[in-house]
Structure 1
């Protein structure tokens, strides 16, 4: 599996992705908002985009579909309940379905509601496990639930699926928010050594050449994966004095998301 991360350099700080089979040159485009850059990268690599996967229905993830389809004839894949929300959808997928790219690439669909209720993450198994997480899991952060989402479902997606991924899973999110997310981590957990160490490396960084984190690293500095940290809970109780001394993880997640909304 070859992964090409494409930095759009737009105001939303989107990442687009091409996943290619090294044997056939067939490629899957994930959320190809910047259709021109995606098509150009494919041409330079000698790849043929045959499929598009939209992680969810928001325009900054689907807006390039039509141009890519017009140029390549690619089939559009998305959550099985997104048919009325994504124009020209050819295939609806659900948890456990597999998307095959060429001869060698197989990607498992995870149904991860929360940011929206029709959100898919893609998981690559094998020697180089990876997660293409859309707007569910960000580097050092979690998606919002402002436009058709639900925070309880987002917590469940984290707790029951993402938090159980192996430590060596590489994380490929839909946006570059790592600097601001690390600053939020340090506001909520001032003694987080991993966040302190990484923040200078990503401050004002070139997002086109940004680091790729692993799930193991995320567990050290992503506040939304540190729900039982005494430091996180202590800071949270200062912001929300009515919280019990040992709030349950879902409550911690919900309150963190509430604070992040205003950050």
Structure 2
């Protein structure tokens, strides 16, 4: 499997992805908002885009669909309940469904509600597992929930699904927010050594060459995985003094997401 990460350079800081079969050259395009860059990248490598996957229904992920389909005739894939929100879906996907790309690539669908209620992440298997996480999991952060989502559902997705993936899973999110997210981590947990070490390398960085993190690393510096950290809890109680001394993990997650909304 070949992963081509495309930095759009737009105001929303989107990443688009091309997933190619090295044997056939067939490609799955994930959230190809910048259809021109995606088409140019595929053409330069002699690839053929045959499928498009929208992780969810927001316009900054679906906005390139029409132009991409017109140019390639690709089939459109999305969450099985997203048909009313995404025009022209050819295949509705459920948890556990497999997307085949060419002869050698298989990706498993995960139903990951929270950012929206019709959100899909894709995972690969093998010696080097990969997660295409859309707007559910960001490098050092978590998706917002104020455009059709629910922080309680996002918490369940993190705890019941994402946290249980292999530790060496490489994370490919829908946006580049890593610098700001690390600054949020350090505002919540000032002594987080992993965040302190990584921040200088991404401060003012070129997202086109940005670091790709693993799930193991995320658990070290992503506040939304660090729900039992005494430091995180102590700092959280400064903002929410009504919290008990030992709040449950779900409460910590939801309150962190509330803080991040205005941070």
The TM-score range, normalised by the shorter chain, is: over 0.9
Which residues in structure 2 correspond to 1:1-263 (within 5 Å)? 1-263=1-263
Aligned partners of 2:258 and 2:126: how far apart in 1?
Answer: 36
Structure 2: runs of 5 or more not aligned: none
The alpha-carbon deviation at position 206 of structure 1 amounts to 0.3
Instruction: Classify the secondary structure of the residue corresponding to 1:81.
Output: coil
Instruction: Classify the secondary structure of the residue corresponding to 2:114.
Output: coil
List 4+ stretches of structure 1 deviating above 6 A: none
Aligned partners of 1:211 and 1:186: how far apart in 2?
Answer: 19
C-alpha distance after superposition, 1:106-125 (max 9, x if no partner): 00000000000000000001
Structure 1: runs of 5 or more not aligned: none
The alpha-carbon deviation at position 127 of structure 1 amounts to 1.5
C-alpha distance after superposition, 1:47-71 (max 9, x if no partner): 0000000000000000000111001
Aligned partners of 1:86 and 1:45: how far apart in 2?
Answer: 29
Instruction: Classify the secondary structure of the residue corresponding to 1:257.
Output: helix
The alpha-carbon deviation at position 128 of structure 1 amounts to 1.5
Aligned partners of 2:164 and 2:188: how far apart in 1?
Answer: 23
The alpha-carbon deviation at position 142 of structure 1 amounts to 0.1
Instruction: Classify the secondary structure of the residue corresponding to 1:131.
Output: strand
C-alpha distance after superposition, 1:67-121 (max 9, x if no partner): 1100100000000000011011100001000000001000000000000000000
TM-score in terms of structure 2 length:
1.00
C-alpha distance after superposition, 1:213-237 (max 9, x if no partner): 0000000000000000000000001
TM-score in terms of structure 1 length:
1.00
Q: Give the number of equivalent residue pairs.
A: 263
Aligned partners of 1:67 and 1:97: how far apart in 2?
Answer: 26
CA RMSD of aligned residues (A): 0.4
